[in-house]
Amino acid sequence: MTLKAAAVPTTLSVDLDRAVLALSDALDFIGVDEIGHGHRVALMAAMCASALEWEPERIHLLVQAGLMHDCGVSSTREHRAIINELMWEGEHAHCDRGFGYLGAVPPLAHLAPIVLEHHTPWEQLCHRGVDENVALIANLIYLVDRADAVRSRGVAEGRPVVDILSRYEGSHFAPELMAVFREEASREAFWFAQEDPTLRERVVELAISGDPVLLTMSEIKALAVMFGRIIDAKSPYTERHSLGVATVAIRLGRHFGLSAMALDMIEVSALLHDLGKLRIPDELLEKQGPLTADERRRMARHAFDTFEVLRRVFGDGPVAQWAAFHHEYVSGHGYPFHREAVNLPLEARIIAVADVLQALAQRRPYRQPLKPEDIVAILDGMVFGGKLDRDVVAVVKADLDTYWHDAVAQEGAEPSQ
Ligand SMILES: [Fe+2]
Ligand SMILES: [Fe+2]
Ligand SMILES: [Fe+2]
């Protein structure tokens, strides 16, 4: 059978507000059983800010920062620590990481200084003379973030939460912010609003403002690299996985003569293919030995979760599909969509092969990285079993060293130009 490349659009239209909103869902997945933290922080902060009569543009900035504030956290273990402790040593590590991630994405770089300071006590912000606008937004996020953490630990909404945070008034939280929070949090309505479906509906209204801000392809790629890094930071075993898959996929795409647009899109898809893995607890991702039926189901849904987030950023066309089909088999027996071969475009097959190659070339909890010759035997077995595309695997085998180095390369973290 001749491999057919998919028909690709001539432009990729991505609106910044919608992308931030959809990707914040992926970040909120990290809570696993306690999802929605970023949404609640954004909404609580916006409710306090409108009581303070902040300008709409400033509230929009606050909401964006609220949705992205914990982008430096990838692991479910670290997320648990953040929710279970009020203040703890090392809390700034995720602020520094978030600052680094956001600073590298031009349309989000203005959020970086806010995210950097979202666990900095108010006294320190004043002492260091941090820009007043940044300081107030960061401190408001800090305050409602801790309110959500305290409530998630089982402290009753309203007065009990306020009483705990009031101990830190002046030292950690700005008195004017504490005053407005005290007022807002005394109303049941403030807490009722933090529950779905109200939470989601209000956050959508707050996050999508006015005219769309369409991103250029290099901005889209920078955003995809940022989320690729977040996904890869989830476990030491997946370090650089998404970046390696993207590097391999681009080279394969070139070999098959894909257009420049299709190459850009395959790069973005490859960087984001494991987005849904943010929802898998670290313990399960690193589990050695066989999985139970329930654990297998949890693992299998990651490609579906990838699709659900990406269709909201890119629509349900090629980018979302190529990314989400990385566990589909040419036999039609893959998961979770069970696509038939005829509905599995070349680009999806390329990402599937690149994914397997990168994973085999990397250390896993249960084994060392495999050598090229062992990888070939496994790839051949997967072709024989109807899992991977024969022609794509043949291209990898013909230039194995190059592809193997692409998969594990330590350089090349930047998006292609
Ligand atoms: Fe945080
Ligand atoms: Fe947080
Ligand atoms: Fe993967």
Mean of all residue pLDDT scores within the chain: 91
> Does 153 or 191 have the greater pLDDT score?
191
- pLDDT, tens digit, for every residue of 82-117? 777 777 778 889 999 999 999 999 999 999 999 999
Q: Which residue has the higher pLDDT, 35 or 48?
A: 48
Q: What is the reported pLDDT for 33?
A: 66
The larger pLDDT score, comparing residue 410 to residue 273, is at: 273
> What's residue 219's pLDDT?
97
Give yes or no for residue 280 having a pLDDT over 80.
yes
CA trace torsion 339, 344, 348, 352 (10° rounding): 60
Rounded CA separation 33/42 (Å): 19
Distance 55 CA to ligand 1 centre (A): 25
User: For the chain, how are helix, strand and coil distributed in percent, rounded to 5?
Assistant: 65, 0, 35
Distance 149 CA to ligand 1 centre (A): 10
User: How many A from CA of 78 to the centre of ligand 3?
Assistant: 21
% of the chain residues with pLDDT over 90: 75
* Tokens found for residue 399: 């230039």
Which ligand is the nearest neighbour of the Cα of 145? 2
- Kindly give the distance from the C-alpha atom of residue 38 to the centroid of ligand 2, in angstroms, as a whole number: 6
Q: pLDDT-derived band of residue 3, with 50, 70 and 90 as boundaries?
A: low
Q: What domains appear along the chain, each with residue ranges and CATH number? A: 31-207 (1.10.3210.10), 217-408 (1.10.3210.10)
Instruction: Report the separation in Å between the CA atom of 406 and the middle of ligand 2, taken as the mean of its atom positions.
Output: 35
CA of 233 to the centre of ligand 3 (A): 13
Q: How far is the CA of 72 from the centre of ligand 1 (A)?
A: 8
- Per-residue pLDDT tens over the stretch 296-307: 999 999 999 999
Give the ligand whose atoms come closest to the C-alpha of residue 39.
Answer: 2
The pLDDT tens digits of the residues spanning 196-238 come to 999 999 999 999 988 899 999 999 999 999 999 999 998 878 8
DSSP labels for 389-417? Answer: -HHHHHHHHHTHHHHHHHHH-SS--SPP-
Query: Which residues surround the ion ligand 1 when the cut-off is CB under 5 Å?
Result: 70
Contact 302, 274 (CB under 8 A): yes
Q: What is the pLDDT of residue 413?
A: 42
pLDDT in tens, 344-395: 999 999 999 999 999 999 887 777 888 888 999 999 999 999 999 999 999 9
Report how far ligand 2's centroid is from the alpha carbon of 145 (Å): 5
Q: Tell me, what's the pLDDT at 410?
A: 57
From ligand 2's centre to the CA of 186, what distance in Å? 22
